[in-house]
Chains A and B, each alone.
Chain A
Amino acid sequence: MAELDIANLSLSFGGLTVLEDLSLSVEPGELFALIGPNGAGKTSVFNCISGIYHPSAGSIRFRGRNILGLDPSQVARAGLARTFQHGELFGEMSVIDNLLAARHAKFRTNVLAEALFLPSVRRQELAHREAVEKIIEFTELEPVRHAPVGGLPFGIQKLAGFARALAMEPDFLMLDEPSAGLNRDEREDLARFLLRIKHELGLAMIWIEHDMQMVADLADRLHVLDYGRTISVGKPQEVLNDPEVIKAYLGLAV
């Protein structure tokens, strides 16, 4: 069974059709890339999955369970974590606090116990602090763990956003242009992290990307969107040589 199964999804804002009859499925452990020119509707797909946008038709199932109609926090609790295009971290909070905030739903404390910082609260804080430290180690954020995220360089912020999604211990990861704005070294680090997640954690990932070289090298399968419509799906080499895809990207005459 596919991890994520989207069938006949349509989304429109007023008269503007954003997504039209989109179907895709992501297999377990697969690195699935979603590509397309600007405005193709890639991030809108994520927002539909996350419950931020409400599609007009179609279905979204995660491991067979319908997740369409859940609100964003319920989708997150169902095991789907995402990153945001511009990082969207909580700038005033430290890296540790950003990661701990992502584990919010895993805590079992109530506000009265927290007000008194009872031993049960202390115990959970400690356990989650240790779990967060593993993610910090994985993403090599040790030197900046106490620093407020807003003051960190952009590349590190993107990495912290990536770490925050991992801190949720998700079953499925949605990455919205993780490489945008990164330099070559940072991209290579990112590629390494993606492969480690794929091989060590075995997470299925859906990945929005503009760097075609990275996509061609890393992705298992590609899905190309243009103006909300699917124009090609398949292995990287087949898709990137598809005349329709080349036309969408380069605008060749028919």
Chain B
Amino acid sequence: MSKPLPNASGHFRRSHADEFRLIETGFSRTMLALFIIALVSFPFLFSSFYVDLAAQVFLASIGALSLMLLTGIAGQISLGHAGLIAAGAFTAGILFKEFALPFWVTIPAAALVGAGIGVLFGLPSLRLRGLYLAVSTLALHFIVVFLGGEYETRRGFSTGILIDPPVVFGYEVYSTRAWYFTLAVAAAVTLWICINLMRSRSGRAWKSIHANETVAEAIGIGVTRYKLLAFVVSSSMTAVAGALFAYYRGFVSIEAFSLYLTIQYVAMIIIGGMGSLLGALLGAVFVTLFPYIIEALVSVLPGADRLAGSVFAFNYAAFGIVMILFLVFEPQGLVGIWRRIRDYFVLWPFRFKAMGGRK
């Protein structure tokens, strides 16, 4: 991905290599440093409830980024996301329970299983598009969930598989704060990998296929290969998120991976903004925090006691309404809003962008 020109006057790129620098200007360097300081100090300033919430956001970010690669970038619609998270979680759970394998083995194993399932999920995409592809991935979701359920009942873990906390460099990751940092690093690494893929040939091939398959093929891109590759990369990242989820909860049970989880992830990439990695992150934050915000709003309404029982119903309804509002009024999602705000401040006191060059 060639980057648009930086929004800074007096900053010039002097060579093509400068285009590969992720942080180009002093301002963005300062902002990044402040952001990292805020992230590091967060768990020391807030109660464990908020730290846990942030850890959930990091976990959701990994899942949302991998779905964004597949759907937002490569244009392949998948409703099998919860199935893949389940596959990763069960891989970690089964390897831990049956073979007592450590964290360092189960996570890569989950990635491999995810890659394998990714090929299966991807095969229908070679023939099917859009809605039909979505339905075929939905079928695979139910197959994975069925297999997980069968495993649980056959092995007598009908309430779920218990997993011990992982040991990283001799340190047991157990406290909320430790999980916060582990998942923050995992999310950062995932983001970095996604950025790298976007600026090299696989990312360009995926975007080309998304834009026009026939033309992509005619300029020498192996469409079959790269569609499958999108499924493989996305699925293995998703499965790793699932395995991390299993360790984080210390517990794997098939009930956690309902179709509603898939819908939440699809909502993340739509609300966040299709085709943008930043959008995936914003969507993950929004969708993870949304139920808590609704709950807080309901509790300040008059007669909150009587409404307490219907908080779940409120949640579902509000979620649906927000989705519709975004699709109708802000199809570019949160990232579209962010770009407008940024452009406003970059251009101020002017109102319109110069022609060409900037995105």
A interface list, Cβ under 8 A from B: 50, 52, 71-73, 75-77, 81-82, 84, 88-94, 96-97, 100-102, 104-105, 107, 109, 111, 114-117, 121-122, 125-126, 129-130, 133, 143-148, 152, 164, 168
Contacts and interface: CB of A to CB of B under 8 A. Distances in A.
A102 B357 contact: no
B205 A104 contact: yes
B211 A115 contact: no
A97 B207 contact: yes
A94 B207 CA distance: 11
Interface of B is mostly: helix
Contact of A109 (B200, B220, B221): B200
Given A133-B16, A144-B357, A146-B357, A52 B219 contact: no
B208 A146 contact: no
A107 B219 contact: no
Which applies to chain A's interface (DSSP): helix, strand, loop or mixed?
Answer: helix
B211 A92 contact: yes
Nearest to A118: B196
- In the A-B complex, the 6 residue pairs with the smallest Cβ-Cβ separation, listed nearest first, are A76-B220, A114-B200, A90-B211, A105-B220, A96-B2, A117-B196
Interface string B198-223: 01111111011001101111111111
Interface residues of B, number: 40
11 contacts: A76-B220, A97-B204, A101-B204, A101-B221, A104-B201, A104-B204, A111-B197, A111-B202, A114-B196, A115-B233, A125-B200
Contacts of A91: 211
Given A90-B215, A146-B3, 19 more contacts: A50-B218, A52-B214, A72-B217, A73-B217, A73-B221, A88-B215, A89-B211, A90-B208, A100-B2, A101-B216, A105-B221, A111-B197, A111-B233, A115-B196, A125-B20, A144-B356, A147-B357, A148-B359, A152-B356
Given A111-B233, A115-B193, A126-B17, A94 B4 contact: yes
A146 B4 contact: yes
A180 to B, nearest CB: 17
Contacts of A114: 196-197, 200-203
Contacts of A117: 20, 196, 199-200
A76 B20 CA distance: 28
Given A90-B208, A115-B197, A143 B359 contact: no
A109 B199 contact: no
B67 interface: no
A90 B73 CA distance: 12
B36 interface: no
Contact of B204 (A93, A105, A168): A93
Contact of A76 (B5, B193, B202, B218): B218
B357 A143 contact: yes
A73 B224 CA distance: 10
Nearest to B229: A111
Given A126-B17, A164-B219, A93 B211 contact: yes
A97 B2 contact: yes
